[in-house]
Amino acid sequence: MSDPLPPRRSDATRAAILDAARARFAEDGYERATVRAIARQAGIDPSMVIRYYGTKEALFARVVDVALGIPDPREIAAEELGTVLVEHFLDLWERDAVLVTLLRVGVTHPAGAERMRDVFRDQLVPAAERFGHDPADAPRRAMLVASQVLGMALLRYVLRFGPAAEMPRAELVAWLAPTVERYITAPSPAAAA
């Protein structure tokens, strides 16, 4: 897993390409983030992008590599569970653009959608298992939390809707925390049709 490769003279360029790719994919989605546009932003020739990363798809895979780092439930006081989680998710979305990229691409490109499923299955569901009680319930709990967090992130960070983008963070947390907390801790209504 480690990379004992010696530093290459082209490392700066490789990094510039990766940075430019992050920016273009996040802002424009997969199709409109062309290899030429990425190269232009990185200040090099389009052929270098392919030479160093092989393929546009491979470059994209390098860009969307995210660790959610959901906190350990044992370190959270029960009464502020929702608050801590919402704050953590907002931090994630604001720290860098990788989640914006993932959402933007996942909606239109199959590779992006699969990457989203990976993150959900490998990180969100296991976290829900650590929080919840019934492991069979974890995917549903994780999905509910994801629905609220993704919806808000869509409006605030992707579409940048006025009311969503301008709401002060503290107020946002106050609104969402009870929702997230209930999705994790409330007893299942279990289709009381």
Partner DNA sequence: GAATCAGGTCAACACCTGTTGGCATACTCG
Partner DNA sequence: CGAGTATGCCAACAGGTGTTGACCTGATTC
Please give the residue ranges that form the binding site for DNA (CB under 7 A): 8-10, 12-13, 33-37, 43-51, 54-57
Residues 66-105: x/- map of binding to its own copies (CB under 8 A)?
-------------------------------------xx-
Size of the site for its own copies (CB under 8 A): 49
Determine the Cα–Cα distance for residues 165 and 155; give it in Å rounded to an integer. 7
Determine the Cα–Cα distance for residues 36 and 34; give it in Å rounded to an integer. 5
Among 10, 32, 96, 133, binds its own copies (CB under 8 A): 32
Among 48, 59, 92, 142, binds its own copies (CB under 8 A): 142
Determine the Cα–Cα distance for residues 87 and 108; give it in Å rounded to an integer. 28
124's CB contacts (< 8 A; 6+ apart) are 68, 70, 142, 145, 146
Query: What minimum distance in Å lies between the beta carbon of 6 and its own copies?
Result: 40
Nearest alpha carbon to residue 59 among 18, 113, 12: 18
Helices 35-42 and 46-53: crossing angle in degrees, nearest 10, is 100
What is the identity of the amino acid at 179?
T
Query: What minimum distance in Å lies between the beta carbon of 102 and its own copies?
Result: 11
Query: What minimum distance in Å lies between the beta carbon of 140 and its own copies?
Result: 5
Residues 112-131: x/- map of binding to its own copies (CB under 8 A)?
-x--xx--x-----------
Q: Report the half-sphere exposure of 189 (CA within 13 A, side-chain side).
A: 6
Among 13, 19, 28, 94, binds its own copies (CB under 8 A): 28
Residues 164-193: x/- map of binding to its own copies (CB under 8 A)?
x--xx-xx--xx--xx--xx----xxxxxx
